[in-house]
Chains A and B, each alone.
Chain A
Amino acid sequence: MGIHNQVLFVLVAIGAVAVALSGFVGFAPNRLVSGNPIPLWKAAGALPAASIALLGTLILAASLAKPSKPVLYSAAVSAALLLLVALTAAGQAARTLSLSATPASRISLAPAFWILVACAALAVGDALQRLEARIATTAVAVIAITSGAALLAALGTFDALSIAREYESRHQEFSDALVRHMTLVGASVGGAVAIGFPLGVATAKRPRLEGPVFAILNTLQTIPSIALFGLLIVPLSALAAAMPWLGAFGIAGVGMAPAIIALVLYALLPAVRNTVAGLRSVDSSAIDAGRGMGMSSSQILWQVELPLSSPVLLAGLRIVTVQAIGLAVVAALIGAGGLGTFVFEGLGQYAVDLVLLGALPAILLALAADFVLQILTAMLRRRAAP
C-alpha cells in the first residue's frame, strides 16, 4: 500500500507531531507571561482528544487510499469536522482550567492548536482542489465551516479563552474599531480606484508616461508609513486652518485624513500596475476589429478593452483591498483608530492576546475580501468565456 496523496499525508503527520510534542493550550498566571503548555489529552479530556485522533486517522486513511471522489469528499468532511472539534476542544479546555484559576490568569491557544487548525484548513483546501470543486462548492464549504465556528462562538464555547477575555474588556471599542477599519479600507480603495484607474489608462495609452509614473509610485511605496504620517501633519493642519469648512469633512492633520491619504498613496502602485497590465493583456486583434467597426477610442476602451481585461482589473482590486486591510493597521499610529489600536497597545504591553484581538480580525477580513473578490472574478471569467 503506497501513499497516494502526499500532501494530505504530510499534513496528518505534521498535525500528529504537533499534538504529540507541544501544548494545545497554555496556562499563564497573568496576561504578560507565556503560558505553561498543556497537551491536548490533558487539557481537553478524553472525548475531544479521541475524536481528533479518530478524524486524523480517517484523513490518514484517505491519504493512503486510491484517490476517488468519495475518498476526497470524506477527507474534506473529516478535516472540516476536525477543525471544528479542535475549536470546541480549546474552548472546553479553557473552561475547565479556568474553574480553578485566579481572575488574572489566562488560558491561551498554544502551538498544537494553531498547527492542527492550519493543517485541517489546508487539508480541506487540498481535497477541494483535487475534486476540482467549482467556486460554488468551495463557497458552501467555507460558509459551513465559518457558520459552525460562529455557532460555537455564539454558544459561548470560547468565553474562557484569553483572546475572548481581551474582547470582553474591549468589546465596546472593538466594534468601533472594526467599523473604523472597514471605513479606512473602503475610503482608501475607493480613492485608489478613482485615481489609479484613470492614471493606469493614461499610462497604458501613452508609453512615455510609464517611466515617470512608476518611478514616482515605486518611490512612494518605499516611504515608511510612520514617516509619511509625520510629513502629512503640517500641510494638512495648515490647510484645515486656512479653510475651516474643510474641517466639516474631517480634514485635519491627525485622524482619518492623513491615514486615508497614506493608504491611497500606497495602493496606487498595484492599482495602476494592474490597470496597465490588464489593458495590455487585451488581444490587439480585438481592438483592430473594434476600430474596423468604426468605434471611437473611448468606445473601444469601455466596450472592448475593459470587459476583456476585467478579470485582470478585478485581480488588481483584490490585491489593493487585501493590502489596504493589512496596511490600515498602521493608521492607529496617527489617531485614525481601527484594529491597529489593539495591535500597538498589545505590542507595547507585550500582551500577545491583545495583539491577536487586532490582528486576527484583520486577517479574517482580508481572507473574506479575497474570497468574495475571487468569486466575482470567477463569475466574470465565466461570463467572458464563450
Chain B
Amino acid sequence: MLATGSAAAASDGKIVVASKIDTEGALLGNMILALLEARGLAVENKIQLGPTNIVRAAILAGQVDIYPEYTGNGALFFHMESDPAWKNWAQGYALVERLCRERNRLVWLTPAPANNTWVIAVRKDLAERHGLKSMDDFARYLAEGGRIKLAASAEFVESPAALPAFEATYGFRLSDEQLLTLSGGNTAATLRAAAEQMSGVNAAMAYGTDGALAALGLVALVDDKGAQIVYAPAPVVREPVLQQHPEIRSTLDPVFATLTLETLQKLNAEIAVEGREGQTVAVSYLKSKHFLP
C-alpha cells in the first residue's frame, strides 16, 4: 500500500509543502513555501500539519512532498539510536540521506549549519556567578557541590541518548533530588520552570535553537564533547518530485546554508517571544538576505 501511495502524484501536480506543528516548523516550512512559490512552482500549503510521526507518515504515503526534518531523527525512524554517526553533523547527514534515499525514496537536501539538539540551559544569574559556559563547567560546578535542580521530561531523563549521555560524557550524576521530572513535559514547560524558579528549579532541558532562551533569562551550555545526537534541520523531498523539479535543490540549499544556530534562535524568538506569525518572519528574513525580491 505504501508503494502505491508514494508513486502517486501529489494533489494536482502541486508541490505539497508541510511542516511540523511547532515554532521552527512554521518558520522553515514558510521559508520553503515562499521560495518555491517565488521560483514559479505551484505549491500547496500544509504547514503545521502535525507532530513528527504524522508528518513522516504523510510524506511516506505521498500526501506531502517536502517538509523540514532533523537529521538526528533518522535514529528514531530507523531504530538506530546507538549508532555513533548521529553525534556528528556530517556523518549523521550522510547516514540519514542514504537510508531515506534507499528505503523511502526521500532525498535530504543540505542541512542548515545548526544543531537543534537537547541542551541543558541554566539561569543567567547562576551562569554569571559561577562562570558556567559549557557542560564541562556544569560538571565542575556539580563536583564542587553547587546547587542544581534540573527540570526535564521523563524522556530526557531516561532515554540513553539524552541526560545519561551527558552524564557519561562529562562525568557527573544527577540525583533524584536534583531533578524535577515532568512526565510528558516539553521544553516550553521546563524553560518556564527555570525562568520562574518553580520548586527551586534553576536549570532546564532545552533545544539548541530555541528562541525563548534569551527572553526567559536562560543560557544554553555548550556541549563541546558532542555527547548529544546532532539535529540539523534540512528539507526532505520525495525523489520523484525532485527529479521533476531539480531546481528545488538549487533554490533551497543556499538559503539553508545561512541558517546558523544564532540566526535560527533569533528568528524563532521573533515568533515565540514577540508573537509574530511564522510566515511574516520567514518572508522578512528571506527579503533581508535578498533571496526574495
Contacts and interface: CB of A to CB of B under 8 A. Distances in A.
Given A33-B216, A254-B54, A334-B54, A347 B188 contact: yes
A204 B53 CA distance: 40
B5 A234 contact: yes
Question: Which of B50, B64, B196, B274 has its CB near the most chain A CB atoms (within 10 A)?
Answer: B50
A253 interface: yes
Nearest to B5: A237
A237 B189 contact: no
Interface string A339-350: 001001101111
A170 interface: yes
B22 interface: yes
B54 A230 contact: yes
**A contacts with B: majority SS:** helix
A253 B63 contact: yes
A170 B4 CA distance: 38
Interface in B119-178: none
Contacts of A351: 272, 275
A247 interface: yes
A33 B192 CA distance: 7
Contact of B61 (A166, A234, A242, A353): A234
B215 interface: yes
A247 B53 CA distance: 23
A255 B5 CA distance: 16
A234 B277 contact: no
Contacts of A247: 11-12
Interface string B49-85: 1110110011001111000000000000000000000
Interface string B266-285: 00000111111100000000
A5 interface: no
Question: Top 6 closest A-B pairs, CB basis?
Answer: A350-B188, A237-B61, A241-B8, A335-B49, A253-B63, A237-B5
28 contacts: A30-B274, A32-B212, A32-B215, A104-B273, A104-B274, A166-B275, A229-B54, A233-B57, A233-B61, A237-B5, A238-B1, A241-B4, A241-B5, A247-B12, A253-B63, A254-B49, A333-B50, A333-B54, A335-B46, A345-B23, A345-B48, A347-B188, A348-B188, A349-B188, A350-B191, A350-B212, A351-B272, A353-B275
Given A34-B196, A234-B57, A350-B192, 20 more contacts: A31-B273, A32-B188, A33-B215, A169-B277, A229-B50, A238-B1, A241-B4, A241-B5, A247-B12, A254-B18, A254-B50, A254-B54, A332-B48, A335-B18, A345-B21, A345-B23, A345-B26, A348-B22, A349-B212, A351-B275
